[in-house]
Amino acid sequence: DAVMIGRAAMGNPYLFNQINHYFETGEILPDLTFEDKMKIAYEHLKRLIDLKGEHIAVREFRGLAPHYLRGTSGAAKLRGAISQASTLAEIEELLQLKA
């Protein structure tokens, strides 16, 4: 068996877990909640910061955020705000998350 994965994995890194779970059990996992997706997005940003520093990581994350927000009500407004963010603190406030 094989699966081809493309852009579906952008902003959806839990897709790999869902696919593995399906192959192992035959059970389809439910989609994650918006809150869970935002926690994963935040963890992604924190790891980018560890790797590249805050300035570069936040700029890169602004391009990744729309993928995490896809299909969410009010996503356009939030995407616009994130695209203007320049610090981790600003994104934390927008995502209403603290580690």
Average pLDDT, the chain: 89
Is it the case that residue 92 has pLDDT exceeding 70?
yes
Structure-block tokens of residue 42: 């935040």
Q: Where are the domains of the chain?
A: 34-95
Is 52:60 a contact under the CB 8 Å cutoff? yes
**Mean pLDDT, residues 13-26 taken together:** 91
Q: For 34-95, CATH number?
A: 1.10.1200.80
pLDDT tens per residue across span 44-87: 999 999 999 999 999 999 999 998 888 888 888 988 999 999 99
Q: Hey, how many other C-beta atoms are within 10 angstroms of the C-beta on 99?
A: 9
Cα 80 to Cα 77: distance, rounded to the nearest angstrom? 5
DSSP H helices in 1-99: 15-25, 34-52, 54-69, 75-84, 88-95
